[in-house]
Amino acid sequence: MTRSLVMVPRWAGSPDTDFHPWLTAKLRTPPPLFDDVRTLAMPTPGAPTIDGWVSTLAAEVGPVPAPSTVLLGHSVGCQAVMRYLSALPPGHTVEGAVFVAGWFEVDTPWDTLRPWLDTPMDFERIRAALRRCVVVLSDSDPFTSDFRRNTRLFEERLGAEVRLIPGGRHFNNPQEPAVLAALQECFSASR
């Protein structure tokens, strides 16, 4: 069975921004952790919509992904992944998810972000769809300053293992070793 890592970028992100090119290259270094590694090009990245991003994820990964799939979301990409998982048929699971700079609340929301904050999610279904949930957060994220509350929400809602990275900001650097470490440490044993 092919083991895939599918990444969904942040607001205004793309396969060529942030850590995605570097992480893809690192994960393809032998021995590869995944058979397939890709970052999706999402529609209207500067003004993402729930329907647009979730339907793109479903079209790219399938309405029912292989159980050996790991999904990685970055910021609003985490929201898209969670909403996609909540739509999976009952009983279906994926190997896991890594949420980088994920959030349920934002300090100063803007108008086009409101639907992502105001549209409820089925946390029970999301949790049931994940065999493992890892969240990589920073104590200095400029969008979600209350990292303690954010950590608690991920732990309570999804049963997530949260890794707090000092000074990680919003993980927009060309290289993010903490993201690579989370994948290697949490998903290599099942390979």
Predicted pLDDT at 190: 54
Q: How far apart are CA 179 and CA 106, in angstroms?
A: 21
**pLDDT per residue rounded down to tens, the chain (191 residues):** 789 999 999 999 999 999 999 999 999 998 899 999 999 999 999 999 999 999 999 999 998 999 999 999 999 999 999 999 999 999 999 999 999 999 999 999 999 999 999 999 999 999 999 999 999 999 999 999 999 999 999 999 999 999 999 999 999 999 999 999 999 999 985 54
Region 6-171: CATH code: 3.40.50.1820
Distance of CA 168 to the CA centre of its chain: 16
Contact 100, 136 (CB under 8 A): yes
Domains of the chain, by residue range, sit at 6-171
Predicted pLDDT at 130: 97
Contact 101, 171 (CB under 8 A): yes
pTM for the complete prediction? 0.96
| E strand or H helix that includes residue 189 | none
Predicted pLDDT at 2: 87
